[in-house]
């Protein structure tokens, strides 16, 4: 079985210590807020992205 990259291992350790709420228990908005709050607490700069789009896709979901 392949081992995890040391940086990912560190991320998982920090997340476990922070006692973050599991993503699957949150709404998308709550999950985004948790990620943003965690980044603010760690004083992390947002990563650059080419663009952000809000989209609605019709259908049952």
CA distances to 1, 27, 32, 50 from 23, rounded to whole Å, are: 26, 8, 9, 25
pLDDT for position 1: 63
Owner of token pair 């992390």: 44
- 3-state class of 3 per DSSP? coil
Annotate 29-57 with DSSP letters as a single string: HHHHHHHHHHHHHTTPPPPP-S-------
What is the mean pLDDT, run by run of 10 residues, along the chain of 61 residues?
A: 87 86 93 89 83 93 76
Domain limits, the chain: 6-41
pLDDT for position 6: 92
């Amino acid at each position: 079985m392949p081992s995890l990259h040391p940086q990912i291992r560190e991320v998982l350790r920090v997340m476990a210590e922070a006692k973050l709420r599991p993503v699957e228990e949150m709404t998308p908005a709550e999950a985004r807020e948790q990620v943003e709050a965690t980044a603010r607490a760690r004083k992390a700069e947002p990563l650059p992205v080419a663009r952000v789009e809000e989209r609605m896709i019709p259908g049952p979901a």
